[in-house]
Amino acid sequence: MVPITLFLALAAILFCIGLYGVLTRRHLVIVLASIEIMLNSVNINLVAFSAIGPFANISGQVFSLFIITVAAAEAAVGLAILIALYRNRNSIDVIKHDLLRW
């Protein structure tokens, strides 16, 4: 049987990759995708704890279903705003959106 630490390590690595993506990428669609990676690393954590954790029970899987649903809603709103922004500015490069600062 695979020990739970491996799953937790995978989730931690994915979370870091997602965070790195949010902080460094210039393409807004990739930034939104990086947020999804962060949320999905949480799902791996929850499902791993739910299956082989010290107190394995079903709540973790229920929690991850809720997260998937909410992440979908968030992505929908995010992409809608992205399209509105693109229509206004003709660019989805992070660097170019600097009207608001300090």
Partner 1 sequence: MTAFDANWSLLTPEMVLAALALLVFTIDFMTGIHGKKPFIGKLSVLSLLVTAVLVLFMNNSGGQIADLYLIDSFAMVFKLIILVGVAMVIMISLHYLDRNEEIYQGEYYSILLFATLGAMIMVSSADLITLFIGLEILSISSYALVGFKKHHRHSTEAALKYVILGGAASAFILYGMSFLYGLTGSTSLLEIGQVMPTLFADYTVIMTISLIFMLVGFGFKISIVPFHMWAPDVYEGAPTPVTAFLSVVSKIAGFAIVLRVFTFGFLGVHEEWVMIIAVLAAVTMVLGNIIALTQKNTKRLMAYSGIAQAGYLLVPVAALPFIGTFSINMILFYSIAYLMMTLGAFAVISLVTEDAGTNDLSSFAGLFQRAPYLAISMTVFLVSLAGLPLTAGFIGKAHIFFGAAAADMLWLAIIMIVMSVVSFFYYFGFIKQMFMTAPKANDEELKVPTSLNAVITVALAVTLILGILPNIVLDVFNTFNWFALF
Rule CB under 8 A: choose which of 20, 26, 81, 93 binds partner 1. Answer: 81
Q: Give CA angle at 90 (78, 38), nearest 5°.
A: 30
Binding site for partner 1 (CB under 8 A): 11, 15, 18-19, 22, 28, 31-32, 35, 38-39, 41-42, 45-46, 48-49, 53-57, 59-60, 62-63, 66-67, 70, 73-74, 77-78, 80-82, 84-85, 88-89, 97, 99-102
